[in-house]
Amino acid sequence: MKRARVTLADVAAMARVDRAVVSRVVNKDPTLNIRQETRERVLAAIEELGYRPNVAARSLRTSRAHMFGLFIPDFANPVYAEIIKGAESEAAAQGYVLVTGSATGAGLGEYMDRIGQGRIDGLLLAGTGEDADLAAQLDQAAIPWLMLNNRSQGVKRYVILDDQRAAALAVEHLVRLGHRRIAHLAGPSRADTAARRSAGYSAAMRDAGLPEGPITAAGYTPAGGAAAMARLLAEAPEGERPTAVFVANVASAIGAMEGVRAAGLEIPRDVSIVAVHDLDLAGYLNPALTTVRMPLAELGRRGVRLLGGLDPDATVAEVLTGPIELIHRRSTAPPPD
C-alpha cells in the first residue's frame, strides 16, 4: 500500500502545538518566541514522522510544478555532464525544467528542501551519498523517483547501463592484442557501477582462460586513478608487472596514465590502458585514450522519459543495453615481446 504523506497538521498534533508554530520552527523564524522544550518537541515530531516541508508532497493529481530533479554524486566527474545533457533535453521536450544537485554540496534531504520550494514532479537519483533510509524518505515525499545508473539493495526502481558488457569489451580488446597479464583499476568499493564493471572484468578473464590480475580500488577522479596505479605498479612482483590495465572510469584513467609515466614507464609500450566511458577529451590526451563508449546521454533521456509516466510506487528494473562500442586509440597496443 502507498504510504499517506505526512502533513503539517500531523506534526502539530504529535507536538501538541498549533500548525503555525510548526511552520515557523521549520522556517527558522527568528521572531518566534517559544520555550526551548516546545521547540524540541516540534523537532522531535518532525524527525519521528519523517516530515519534509519542502518536498514535493502535493498530490500530482491536482497540481504539477513542471520540474524534475536530478541528484548526482559529484559535478567534477565529467561523465555526469553527458547524463545531464540527455536528461535536460528530454525534460525540455516534455515542457519541464531539470534542477540538478550533487552529494558534495548537500545531502539528499537538504537538496530536496531547497529546489523549487520543494515542488517537483519526480526525482532521478544518480547518487545519494550516505542516506541509509533512502526509500523511506522518498516514499514519504509521495513523488515518482528512479535510480539512474545506480542501484540500492532491496530497491527495484532503477534504469542502468550494461556495465558488465562494457568491461567485457575492454578485456576482449586487450586479449585480442595479445595481453595475458591484465590488471583492473576498479571504482570505489561501495559504488554499484564499480561492482558491475568488476564482475564484467572477472567474467571476461574467465572466458579468455586467463587468471585475474591485481584488482585495486580507485576513486572516480584523476587523483584516485593516479594513486591506485602507483600502488598497483609498486606492489607487482618482479617480472609480473601487468602489461595492460582496464580502468573502470575515464576520469580515473587520466590519473592512471600519469601514474604510469611517474613510474618511468611508457604508454602503450610498457602498459596499455583502456577505460569505460568515452568523452571528447579522451581523444586529446597523450597518448589518445582507448575507451568503451556508453550511451550516457540516452541514459539521461530514458530516465526522464520513464519518470514522466511513473507512479510513485511503481517497480522498474531496466538495463539500457546499447549502443556500446570500443573506441580504439593509441593507449593500447600489443604487449612488449
Q: Is the pLDDT of residue 108 over 80?
A: no
pLDDT of residue 112: 65
Indicate the pTM of the whole model.
Answer: 0.77
Position with higher pLDDT, 99 vs 114: 99
Asked whether residue 127 falls in the same domain as residue 210, the answer is no
Asked whether residue 125 falls in the same domain as residue 170, the answer is no
Position with higher pLDDT, 2 vs 294: 294
Q: Write the CATH number for 309.
A: 3.40.50.2300
Asked whether residue 182 falls in the same domain as residue 249, the answer is yes
* Domain annotation covers residue 100: yes
Residue 102 grid coordinates: 550533487
Neighbours of 306 (CB within 10 A): 21
* Domain annotation covers residue 235: yes
Asked whether residue 188 falls in the same domain as residue 270, the answer is yes
Mean pLDDT on 134-155: 76
Q: Is the pLDDT of residue 61 over 60?
A: no
Asked whether residue 38 falls in the same domain as residue 88, the answer is no
* Domain annotation covers residue 284: yes
The CA-atom distances, in angstroms, between 116 and each of 40, 42, 50, 68 are 28, 25, 20, 10
* Domain annotation covers residue 331: no
Reported confidence tier of residue 312, pLDDT bands at 50, 70, 90: low
- How does pLDDT run across 195-236, given as a tens digit for each residue? 999 999 999 999 999 999 999 999 999 999 999 999 999 998
Average pLDDT of the chain, as a whole number: 86
Lowest-pLDDT range, 77-91, 142-156, 251-265?
A: 142-156
The residue with cell 595475458 is 180
* Domain span holding position 251: 163-294
Asked whether residue 124 falls in the same domain as residue 202, the answer is no
Reported confidence tier of residue 31, pLDDT bands at 50, 70, 90: confident
Asked whether residue 172 falls in the same domain as residue 253, the answer is yes
Reported confidence tier of residue 246, pLDDT bands at 50, 70, 90: very high
In the chain, the number of structural domains is: 3
* Domain annotation covers residue 330: no
Asked whether residue 187 falls in the same domain as residue 280, the answer is yes
